[in-house]
Amino acid sequence: MASDFVFIHVRKPKDALKLAKSSRVRSHVTRQQWKQFDLRARGSKANATAVGKVVGEEVNNQEDSIVLRDKSDHRRNKHELVAPEIGIEIQIENGAHNHIPRPLGGLRGDPFRSYPVAWRPSLPRFVDHYLMSMAVDIPELDQPGNRGLLRTTWFPLVMSERALFLVIILLAASNYASVQDQSQPLDTKMKLDLLALRCEAVQAVNEALEAQEPGRISDALVGAIAKMASYEAMYGDVHNYAVHMRGLERVVELRGGLGELGLAGLLRRIVIWIDRNGAFLNGSALYFPGETFAPGESMPEPNPGHFLGAR
């Protein structure tokens, strides 16, 4: 039986980046990706449930009837999805181990194009923009003693689920467009591209809801609905924001409450962070009133600068 890890000896830690491009390392990562794919392919498919109606029916009544450009994405994704937790483990000469997260390829881009959606040329640009400009250190979300949890803990979850990934790409593309030359309004093509991406993200969330069992709502799906709500708070309107926040309330309830969300409390903090800042921007009521980032803490204050992706 082949080993699950390949150890490569280097004299200096910086030499590890050069080795990440070698055929030996690439072939090892590829084998591990196909192994994970085979395990996923053997899994059973979840039945459609009434959970999808919570958000799906209200969202489908909006102006989301635009025909998506490529309806075959979802079918192709089943053959292109790879596990986000695979990495390259490298043994440094002094015996320490350095783990390079696979979603980042050890660098800012992913040379293996292992996104949970079909490949498109715009993906590297928007993923890079999200990682470098939006997934920044935020003390309220990181909490004392931690840094960069949006990159090291949250982003691997993003890479695991098509719906969540598309919502994040929508946020990144919208922020990318907003920080370009402010003297020039968005052209018609960009507006249509963003609208089509929004429709694709909403449809992906609805499909994920239909595939979930009521008692097994995933962290990725909770995150997708929460981030869709944050998109509407920043770029949409109060009505659409309320639709997604009501859906978020429901799925959190099905999970057993905020305390049952994963990522070691980070997902809980993201939900509360969105609730606080969304209410601040829209002048609306809180959907999770009285909740704090951690037991015993004071009520968190909104931080619209970080929330809007300002640097």
Give the pLDDT confidence score for residue 299 in this predicted structure: 79
pLDDT tens, per residue, the chain with 311 residues: 444 555 555 555 555 555 544 555 445 544 554 444 444 444 433 333 334 444 444 444 444 433 333 334 443 343 333 333 333 332 333 333 333 344 443 345 666 678 999 999 999 999 999 999 999 999 889 988 899 999 999 999 999 999 999 999 999 999 999 887 666 777 788 888 999 999 999 999 999 999 988 778 999 999 999 999 999 999 999 999 999 999 999 999 999 999 999 999 999 999 999 999 999 999 999 999 999 988 778 877 888 887 887 55
Strand bridging mode 97-101 / 9-10? unpaired
Q: Taking a C-beta distance cutoff of 8 angstroms, is the pair 284, 242 a contact?
A: yes
Domains in the chain: boundaries: 1-44+82-115, 48-73+117-307
Q: Taking a C-beta distance cutoff of 8 angstroms, is the pair 272, 291 a contact?
A: yes
Rounded to 5 degrees, what are φ and ψ at 121?
-60, -25
Q: Taking a C-beta distance cutoff of 8 angstroms, is the pair 88, 100 a contact?
A: yes
Q: What is the DSSP letter of 104?
A: G
Let me know the angle formed at the C-alpha of 287 by 265 and 264, rounded to the nearest 5 degrees.
5
3-state helix, strand, coil in the chain (%, to 5): 55, 5, 40
Give the pLDDT confidence score for residue 182 in this predicted structure: 66
Rounded to 5 degrees, what are φ and ψ at 36?
-65, -40
Q: Taking a C-beta distance cutoff of 8 angstroms, is the pair 237, 109 a contact?
A: no
Q: Taking a C-beta distance cutoff of 8 angstroms, is the pair 122, 48 a contact?
A: no
303: which 2 tokens?
A: 């931080």
Residue 4 corresponds to which amino acid?
D
Q: Taking a C-beta distance cutoff of 8 angstroms, is the pair 131, 195 a contact?
A: no
Helix (H, G, I), strand (E, B) or coil at 180: coil
Helix (H, G, I), strand (E, B) or coil at 90: strand
Q: Give, rounded to a whole angstrom, the gap between the first and last alpha carbons of the chain.
A: 50
**Half-sphere CA count of 30, side-chain side, radius 13 A:** 10
Give the pLDDT confidence score for residue 4 in this predicted structure: 52
Q: Where are the beta strands (DSSP E) in 40-175?
A: 87-92, 97-101
22: which 2 tokens?
A: 């070698």
